[in-house]
Chain A
Amino acid sequence: MAANPMSQFDVYRIGPEIKVGAFDISFTNASLFMIISTVSILLVFNLGSKRNSVLPNKMQLLAELSYTFVAKMISDTAGSKAKPYFAFIFSLFMFVLFCNMFGMIPYTFTVTSHIIVTFILAAFIFIGVTVIGFIKHGFGYLKLFVPSGVPAVLLPLIVVIEIISYLSRPISLSVRLFANMMAGHTMMKVFGGFVISLGLVGGWLPLSFSVALTGLEILVAFLQAYVFAILTCIYLNDALNLHH
C-alpha cells in the first residue's frame, strides 16, 4: 500500500468489468466486503438460532443478546408500534456494525467509509420514514413541521427551520457515519506512516498512539452503528407517534 492515507479508500475492480446498459456494476473490493459482512452476519445468526437449548451456548447467547439489545433499543425509542420494522433496523444495525468492524482489520476495506453507501442507506431510511408517516397520518404528518406552543409570530421561521432540519436528516445521518469512519481510518494510517518514517528510534510514540487509536476506533465502529440505528428509530418514532 502506498503511503497516502487516502489510498485505503480506493475502490478497484475485482475480475472483469460488468456493464448493464450504461451502468457499471463490476465486482469491486467494496462489493467483496459487503458480501463478507452479510455472509458473516447470516452465519453468526444462523448458528446462533440453530439449536434451542435452555442453557444457550456461546453463539446462541451472542445472537439472543443482539436480538434483545436491538429489540430494547427499538421499544425504548420508538415504542411498540415499531415492531414490524424490527427486522429492518436489526439488519441495518448489524450491517453497519459488521462493515465497521471488518474495516478495523488491517488491509481490509471499510464499506461504510464511502459516502455513497451511507447516503443510500440514509436516503432509503428517509424516504421510508416519510412514506410511513404519510400513510399513517395522511397530510396530518405535515404537523411535524409545526411545533405546538410556538408564538404565531415565530411560526413561519420555525416551520422553515423544521423543514430544513427534516430534509437534512439523510445528509446528517450519512455524513456522520461516513466521516467518522473515514477520519478514524485516515488517522490510523497517518500514525502508521509515522511509525515507519521515524523508525526504531522515535517510532514508539506513534506506535503507542496507533494502539490506543485502534481501541478508540473499535469503540467508534460500534458507537456509530448504534447511533445510526438509534437515529433511524427516532425518525421512525416521529413517523409512527406524531406528537409535536
Chain B
Amino acid sequence: MIKKIFFQSIFFSFLFFKKAFAAESGGMPQLNPEFWISQIFWLVLTFGIMYVVLSKFILPKISNNLESRKSQILENIEAAEKQREDGEAKLKEYDEIILKSKMEAKNIFNQTREKTLKDIGAKKEVLDQQIDDEINKAEKEIEVLRVSAPDKINKIAIETSSELLEKLIGSGVNSSSISAIVDDLSRRNGDKYYGN
C-alpha cells in the first residue's frame, strides 16, 4: 500500500517537474565520466591511508586493550575466587575456635561449681559444729543457772521476809527459823514452778 502510494507519487512528481527536468541536463551524474579518474584517485588515496593507519596503529591497540581487559578480568575473578576460599577456611577456623572455647568455658564453669559446692559444704560443716558447740555451752550454762536459781531465790526470800518481819515486829527474828519455813515452802512449790 505504502509502496504503491510512493511509486505513484514518484510518477506524479515526474509529471510535475518535467519542465524543471527538461531545463537541467538529463540523466544520472554517476554515469558522467568526467570525474571518474578523480574519484578513483581520491578513493584509493583516502581509503589506503585509512587502511594503513587503522591496521598499523589503531586496531592493534584496540585488540590489545580488549585482550588486557579480558586477562585482567580473568585475574580478578581468580583472585576473588581465592579470597573466597580463604574466607571460607577462616570461617571454619573461627567456628572451631568458638566451639573449643565454649567447651572450655563449660569445663571451667563445671569445675568451679564443684569446687564452690565443696567449699560451701566444708564451711557449713564447720559452722554447724560451732553452732552445736555454742548451743551445748548455752544449755550447760542454763542448766547451771537453773540448778543455782532455787538457792538464790530462797536466799532472797529469807532476806526479804526477815526484813519484812523486822519492820512489822520491830525486833530481829531468828533467821534460821525463817529459812526453815522458806525451804519448806520452796520445796513444795518448787515442783510447781520448775516442773521437775
Tell me if B6 and A31 are in contact (CB < 8 A). Answer: no
Instruction: Answer yes or no: A64 CB below 8 A from chain B CBs.
Output: yes
Q: Is the interface of B mostly helix, strand, loop or mixed?
A: helix
| Selected interface stretch from A143-151, A157-165, A191-199 | A191-199
Expressed in whole angstroms, the minimum distance between the Cβ of A98 and any Cβ of chain B is 10
| Selected interface stretch from B21-29, B123-131, B139-147, B177-185 | B21-29
Instruction: Answer yes or no: A95 CB below 8 A from chain B CBs.
Output: yes
Tell me if A11 and B9 are in contact (CB < 8 A). Answer: no
Using CB atoms, name the residue of chain A closest to B41. A25
Q: Give Cα distance in the complex from A120 to B42, angstroms.
A: 11
- A1-18: CB near B (< 8 Å → 1, else 0) gives 011111101110100000
Instruction: Answer yes or no: A48 CB below 8 A from chain B CBs.
Output: yes
Chain A contacts with B in 6-60, Cβ cutoff 8 A: 6-7, 9-11, 13, 23-28, 30-31, 34-35, 37-38, 41-42, 45-46, 48-49, 52, 54, 60
Complex interface: chain A residues within 8 A of B39 (CB): 11, 28, 30-31, 114, 116-117, 120
Tell me if B65 and A24 are in contact (CB < 8 A). Answer: no
Tell me if A90 and B59 are in contact (CB < 8 A). Answer: yes
- B103-131: CB near A (< 8 Å → 1, else 0) gives 00000000000000000000000000000
Instruction: Answer yes or no: B61 CB below 8 A from chain A CBs.
Output: yes
Option from B24, B35, B61 in Cβ contact (under 8 Å) with A30? B35
Q: Is the interface of A mostly helix, strand, loop or mixed?
A: helix
| Selected interface stretch from B46-54, B79-87, B89-97, B158-166 | B46-54
How many of chain B's residues touch chain A, expressed as a range? 35 or more
Instruction: Answer yes or no: B191 CB below 8 A from chain A CBs.
Output: no
Complex interface: chain A residues within 8 A of B29 (CB): 6-7, 9-11
Complex interface: chain A residues within 8 A of B36 (CB): 116
Instruction: Answer yes or no: B62 CB below 8 A from chain A CBs.
Output: yes
Chain A count of residues within 8 A CB distance of the other chain:
60
Tell me if B54 and A41 are in contact (CB < 8 A). Answer: yes
Option from B35, B50, B57, B63 in Cβ contact (under 8 Å) with A24? B35
Option from A9, A27, A38, A182 in Cβ contact (under 8 Å) with B47? A38
Tell me if B6 and A209 are in contact (CB < 8 A). Answer: yes
- A178-203: CB near B (< 8 Å → 1, else 0) gives 10001000010011011001000000
Option from B24, B42, B59 in Cβ contact (under 8 Å) with A4? B24
Instruction: Answer yes or no: A167 CB below 8 A from chain B CBs.
Output: no
Complex interface: chain B residues within 8 A of A6 (CB): 24, 27-29
Complex interface: chain A residues within 8 A of B20 (CB): 2-4
Q: Which of B27, B50, B55, B64 has the most CB of A within 10 A?
A: B50
Complex interface: chain B residues within 8 A of A68 (CB): 66
> Mind listing 7 A-B residue pairs with CB under 8 Å?
A28-B35, A34-B43, A88-B55, A95-B50, A116-B39, A121-B47, A178-B30
Q: Which residues of B contact A (CB under 8 A)?
A: 6, 9-10, 13, 16-17, 20-21, 24, 27-44, 46-47, 49-51, 53-55, 57-59, 61-66, 68-69, 72-73
Q: Which residues of A contact B (CB under 8 A)?
A: 2-7, 9-11, 13, 23-28, 30-31, 34-35, 37-38, 41-42, 45-46, 48-49, 52, 54, 60, 63-64, 67-68, 86-88, 90-91, 94-95, 111, 113-117, 120-121, 178, 182, 187, 190-191, 193-194, 197, 206, 209
Q: Which 3 A-B pairs have the closest CB atoms?
A: A87-B55, A31-B42, A49-B61
Q: A4-B21, A54-B69, A190-B10 are in contact. List 8 more A-B contacts (CB 8 A).
A: A11-B29, A27-B42, A31-B42, A35-B42, A48-B62, A54-B73, A64-B66, A193-B16
